[in-house]
Amino acid sequence: MNIPLVDLKANYLSIKNEIDSAIQDVLNSSSFILGPFVKRFEENFARFCQVKHTVGCANGTAAIHLALLAAGVKKGDEILTVPNTFIATTECISYVGSKIKFVDVVPQTALIDIDALEKTITQKTKALIVVDLYGQMPDMQRIREIAVNHDLFLIEDAAQAHAAEWNGHQPGYYGDIACFSFFPAKNLGCYCDGGAVITNYDELAEKLRLLVNHGRTTKYEHRIEGYNYRLDALQAAILDVKLTHLLKWTDLRRDHARFYDRNLPSNIGRIIEAKGAKHVYYMYEIRVQERDSLMSYLKQQGIECGIHYPLPLHLQPAYVSLGFKKGQFPFSEQLAQEIISIPIYPELTNEQRQYIVDHIKKFVYQ
């Protein structure tokens, strides 16, 4: 048996006629830049997330950059985030000239340590970027209260958290802005790069729309200098089709996760779903001491796995000049040594997931 970590082909084939028709509609209209397809997706995604505004953009990195620009952060401002995330989260802090400041995570969920967060805030702190890692939101109600008390701009990096919830509310409810990636492997992914920023604030939405498209109000009238960060119409049309299936796919991911929870060996660690959270399982993470040996064994059995992420950001070569030290964020470092992502895509069959569990058991009990 051959089981990929993510099966994009199976996903496409499951909705092939709808996708092909949507692509053909864009080709027939020749409306490739902004236009009705982008507008329709933005409206539908805003409705899905239960927010007032969606602004489509080029990718998830652009979404975070736009959020920081809209926040008005300046050179030297401190932006707090976590070290166990993809570098896009912190690259954008550097783009705007602000200072990267890390807060460690709690090992049970791999999400931000909220107690440590509050203690890390200084007078120079201007914004928080909270990462909804693997598809799970932290206690956003508490984080929102902290942000309000300290007059901080709150950004949700929801690149892995489409349809996730905290106490019944999706990304965008608690944050000033939430940022999404539509990278092909995401729970809601397009067929190239794509992203979006969502907000309930009219003024922020107006600023985001200027920033995403050269700062213009008409074709050749530019209120500010902006960026060419637009979402392609083809990708918007594809996303609009896939959005109608997202809740069903989310239910399938959660069903696979429950199967793993019930059937994996009890001595295999895992990232838990916190009380109050609706985890959408972009990835299902297990934690093992003998990671390399297990991954090698599973690969021999045709089971593809991944590591998200093997080196925390404070130890990345790109940030040597910032002076972070090994041991500074111990839980992020511990997780980086232990985590394995196992297949959990919606099209995973009962036979495939049983095969995965059987071989993990065989490795553990051999």
Write out the H or E segment, with its range, that includes residue 130: strand 125-131
pLDDT band with cut points at 50, 70 and 90 for residue 81: very high
Q: Are residues 213 and 79 in the same domain?
A: yes
Q: What is the model's pTM? A: 0.97
pLDDT band with cut points at 50, 70 and 90 for residue 7: very high
Give residue-wise pLDDT tens across range 135-152. Answer: 999 999 999 999 999 999
Residue 176 belongs to some domain of the structure: yes
* Residue 138 Cα distances to 152, 197, 289, 302, 342, angstroms: 17, 19, 26, 34, 22
Residue 1 belongs to some domain of the structure: no
Q: Are residues 225 and 316 in the same domain?
A: no
Other beta carbons within 10 Å of 87: 15
Q: Are residues 142 and 250 in the same domain?
A: no
Give residue-wise pLDDT tens across range 281-293. Answer: 999 999 999 999 9
- What's 230's domain CATH number? 3.40.640.10
Give residue-wise pLDDT tens across range 156-166. Answer: 999 999 999 99
Residue 282 belongs to some domain of the structure: yes
Q: Are residues 238 and 357 in the same domain?
A: no
Q: Are residues 255 and 239 in the same domain?
A: no
Of the residues 196, 220, 243, the one at which a domain ends = 243
- What's 253's domain CATH number? 3.90.1150.10
Q: Are residues 284 and 147 in the same domain?
A: no
Q: Are residues 161 and 119 in the same domain?
A: yes
Of the residues 204, 220, 243, the one at which a domain ends = 243
Q: Are residues 219 and 344 in the same domain?
A: no
SS (H, E, C) 148-160: HHCCCEEEEECCC
Look at residue 340 and tell me whether its pLDDT is greater than 90. yes
For the chain, how far is it from start to end, CA to CA, in angstroms?
21
- The three-class DSSP label of residue 47 is helix
Give residue-wise pLDDT tens across range 176-192. Answer: 999 999 999 999 999 99
pLDDT band with cut points at 50, 70 and 90 for residue 366: confident
Residue 101 belongs to some domain of the structure: yes
Q: How many domains does the chain have?
A: 2
Which domain range does residue 339 map to? Answer: 246-365
Q: Are residues 156 and 277 in the same domain?
A: no
Supply the pLDDT for residue 200.
98
Residue 157 belongs to some domain of the structure: yes
Q: Are residues 172 and 132 in the same domain?
A: yes
Supply the pLDDT for residue 203.
98
Q: Are residues 318 and 221 in the same domain?
A: no
Look at residue 264 and tell me whether its pLDDT is greater than 80. yes
Give residue-wise pLDDT tens across range 92-120. Answer: 999 999 999 999 999 999 999 999 999 99
Are 204 and 7 in contact by the 8 Å Cβ rule? The answer is: no
Residue 284 belongs to some domain of the structure: yes
* Gap between the Cα atoms of 268 and 276, Å rounded: 24
Of the residues 243, 264, 287, the one at which a domain ends = 243
Q: Are residues 225 and 145 in the same domain?
A: yes
Q: Mean pLDDT, to the nearest integer, of 24-44?
A: 97
* Gap between the Cα atoms of 176 and 157, Å rounded: 11
Residue 3 belongs to some domain of the structure: no
